[in-house]
Amino acid sequence: MIGATVAGEVAPAGAGSSAPALEGRAVCKNYGGLRAVIDVSFGVAPGEILGIVGPNGAGKTTLFDVITGHTSATSGEVILEGRPIVGEKVHTRCALGLARTFQQPTVAASLSVLENLYLASSFRRRRENGAQDVAVAERWLEFAGLTHRASAEAGPLGVFDKKRLMLATALATNPIVLLLDEPFGGLNPQEIDSVMGLIRAVRDQGLAVVCIEHVMRALTALADRVLVMHHGATFFEGTPGEMLADERVIEVYLGSAHGGHT
Ligand SMILES: Nc1ncnc2c1ncn2[C@@H]1O[C@H](COP(=O)(O)OP(=O)(O)OP(=O)(O)O)[C@@H](O)[C@H]1O
Ligand SMILES: [Mg+2]
């Protein structure tokens, strides 16, 4: 189990709680004349996994960028535990409990694996109540299965190690909501199963998880609900089973993706 030994920093499992940890309300993002995200609304509760899928260029990553503050919203609200956050800076949103991983493996390349985790833990939510940075860093190092890589420089790591390091650094900030942008991209089936186990463990501890993913096997096994984006807008919302049976989703996304996205 994770979290319990991190000085009780991870909230107890809250599955079944209806109050969303994170909400988006009519989120829009324009890049010049390009409407990358159009009126997208969603909510995710503690202990829940919301999947986001859709064709390349649908606006999935841009939605994450707006949520985390990596880009500004054109309009709409993002609400974390009842608090509007669209005016906040990236590091403030992190301190309030929002963490993400990136589509491209993103690590502090010249630092060691453990140093990456020290750095992340120093930005964590409720730092004053927590364990020392070193204890937090070592806990997530172990959770991610990277103990044997602790002193390795992060830059040259392979994609599996980098993806797990990104996940561990996000968790070391002690988030309420975890946003994962294609956590399985570039991984083989065994590695995908391993990362799925990590995400489930995190969800079981009560984090709200939003996961963008094209690997349908993993996404449909993990997600409680799925939001399909197409041309920036919400195209479908439902359970994974409902999505797989939806003829419109098959036509615009799943059908064209046979083999590639399954
Ligand atoms: N910084 C930016 N400036 C201008 N246009 C952008 C920027 N970032 C994204 N876009 C455009 O916004 C649209 C949505 O891109 P986004 O990366 O959000 O798609 P995506 O759904 O994540 O796709 P993929 O599955 O390929 O990752 C695309 O047309 C993209 O070219
Ligand atoms: Mg993307």
More confident residue, 79 or 259: 79
Which residues are bridge partners to 31 per DSSP? 34
Q: Which ligand neighbours the alpha carbon of 31 most closely?
A: 1
User: What SS3 state is found at 200?
Assistant: helix
CA atoms of 8 and 10, how far apart (whole Å)? 6
- Cα of 56 vs centre of ligand 1, distance in Å, is 8
- Cα of 57 vs centre of ligand 1, distance in Å, is 5
The helix (H) or strand (E) run that includes residue 197 is helix 189-204
Is the CB of residue 87 less than 8 Å from the CB of residue 69?
no
CA atoms of 76 and 90, how far apart (whole Å)? 17
Predicted local confidence at residue 11, as pLDDT: 42
CA angle 146, 178, 46 (to 5 degrees): 120
Does the pLDDT value for residue 147 go beyond 70? Answer: yes
Per-residue pLDDT, averaged over 237-253, amounts to 95
- Architecture in CATH for domain 22-257: 3-Layer(aba) Sandwich (3.40)
Is the CB of residue 246 less than 8 Å from the CB of residue 238?
yes
- Cα of 12 vs centre of ligand 1, distance in Å, is 35
- Cα of 36 vs centre of ligand 1, distance in Å, is 7
* CA distance to 49, 229, 233, per residue, from 62 (Å): 19, 11, 12
Per-residue pLDDT, averaged over 32-39, amounts to 97
Ligand 1 in reach of 104 Cβ (< 6 A): no
Predicted local confidence at residue 130, as pLDDT: 59
Ligand 1 in reach of 62 Cβ (< 6 A): yes
Q: Per-residue confidence at 126, pLDDT binned at 50, 70, 90? A: confident
Measured in degrees and rounded to the nearest 5, phi and psi for residue 76 equal 105, 175
Largest interatomic CA distance in the chain? 52
Per-residue pLDDT, averaged over 10-24, amounts to 66
Is the CB of residue 137 less than 8 Å from the CB of residue 118?
yes
Ligand 1 in reach of 260 Cβ (< 6 A): no
Ligand 1 in reach of 31 Cβ (< 6 A): yes
For the whole model, what pTM was predicted? 0.91
Predicted local confidence at residue 125, as pLDDT: 83
What DSSP state is assigned to residue 147?
A: G
Measured in degrees and rounded to the nearest 5, phi and psi for residue 217 equal -55, -45
Nearest CA to ligand 1 atom 16: 59
Ligand 1 in reach of 36 Cβ (< 6 A): yes
Which residues are bridge partners to 181 per DSSP? 212
Q: Which ligand neighbours the alpha carbon of 58 most closely?
A: 1
pLDDT tens column, 56-103:
999 999 999 999 999 999 999 999 999 999 999 999 999 999 999 999
The helix (H) or strand (E) run that includes residue 236 is strand 233-238
Ligand 1 in reach of 238 Cβ (< 6 A): no
In the block, residue with structure tokens 């109540």? 129
Atom of ligand 1 nearest to the CA of 62: 18
What DSSP state is assigned to residue 87?
A: T
Per-residue pLDDT, averaged over 157-186, amounts to 97
- Cα of 127 vs centre of ligand 1, distance in Å, is 34
CA atoms of 167 and 62, how far apart (whole Å)? 19
CA angle 234, 183, 127 (to 5 degrees): 100
Neighbouring residues of the ion ligand 2, judged by CB less than 5 Å: 60-61, 103
